[in-house]
Amino acid sequence: MTKSKSLSNEAKWGIVLALPAILGFLIWTLGPMVASFILSFTDWNVVSTPHFIGIENFRKMFMEDFIFKKSIYATLYYTLGSVLSTVIFAFLIALLLNQKIKGLPIFRTIFYLPSITPAIASAMLWIWLFNPDFGLLNQLLGRFGIPRLQWIYDEKQVIPSLIFMSIWGMGGTMIIFLAGLQGIPQEFYEAVDMDGGNWWHKFRYITIPMMTPTIFFNLVMAIIGTFQVFTSAYIMTSGGPNYASMFYVYYIYLSAFRYGDMGYACALAVILFFIILSFTLVVFRSSPYWVYYESARRR
């Protein structure tokens, strides 16, 4: 009797204390999301009253809007390049840092710091590094006799340049990899030693399988994050040259807040939602084939 009463009391407390997050989800996530879907079928431009125009926004997007196509291409190109090179590079550095080396905290800090540098500050810094005439990068290339590049000022070079810059910010991914590597029980490696295996066997049959859940996590988070890159387009390139770096979220920003076309911007956002959803689903669906879960240790 008293037990059940105290339980309902606990439940009351529980719901009250969780209320901020529940309300927050309704007000700041679910509500706006539904509103985005509805507005994507209207021609609303803030000033006039919105009219329902069916799929006109989507038709225009796929049939007429060449900037939309450019921005899809730029964003996919950047995401693919940045996610792959960031994840591979972060994994390599984490492997090196996991070799029981001296000075680990110093190395870790050096590789990590760029990732917490304010996006605006690192954008400013990299504009200066990319400067074709006086920037550090061309000066270094010149020292090795390599002709200077135009970096972010050339239609063909802008995305590779930004991918290169994104590798500098791989620190968060690297720290998660390092933590994963440190969590692999030492006995597993010793077992390989006993069986006469070498470093390759350890890497291929212990490290890689044990790390697949961490790789999976980093891959999903990197795809979601990179798809929404904004600052480098806003500060560094203004989407140029010739729309070559018109990143998707920057295009949404321009459509909504420069051109005032809220309905169209919402339609763009809805498409973004489905693109990211399908990418995430592909990674999730593929996970049974390559992610190794130790079912015994989970719970």
Interface with another protein, residue 185, by CB under 8 A: no
Q: In the numeric block, which tokens belong to residue 238?
A: 């203004």
Residue tagged 């979601």 (tokens)? 224
Site for another protein in 11-30 (CB under 8 A): 11-15, 17-18, 20-25, 27-29
192 burial level (CB within 10 Å; 0-12, 13-18, 19+)? middle
63-71, 73-81, 153-161, 219-227 -> range binding another protein (CB under 8 A): 219-227
Q: Which of residues 51-90 bind another protein (CB under 8 A)?
A: none
**Binding residue (CB under 8 A) for another protein from 55, 146, 179, 282:** 179
The C-alpha atoms of residue 32 and residue 26 are separated, in whole angstroms, by: 8
Q: Which stretch binds another protein (CB under 8 A): 75-83, 146-154, 174-182, 204-212?
A: 174-182
> 């399988």: which residue's tokens?
209
CA distance 122 to 140: 19
- Nearest CB to another protein, comparing residues 156 and 269: 269
With CB under 8 A as the contact rule, the residue among 163, 211, 265, 291 that binds another protein is: 265
282 binds another protein (CB under 8 A): no
Report the alpha-carbon distance of residue 170 to residue 90 in Å, rounded.
6
What is the rounded distance in angstroms from the CA atom of residue 177 to the CA atom of residue 92?
9
10 Å CB burial of residue 163 (0-12, 13-18, 19+) is buried
Q: Does 45 bind another protein (CB under 8 A)?
A: no
Least distance between another protein and beta carbon 153 (Å):
14
CB of 6 to another protein, least distance (A): 8
Residues of span 107-136 touching another protein by CB under 8 A? 107-111, 113-114, 116-121, 124-126, 128-129, 134, 136
The Cα 292–Cα 299 span in angstroms is 16
Q: Which of 231, 241, 283, 287 binds another protein (CB under 8 A)?
A: 231
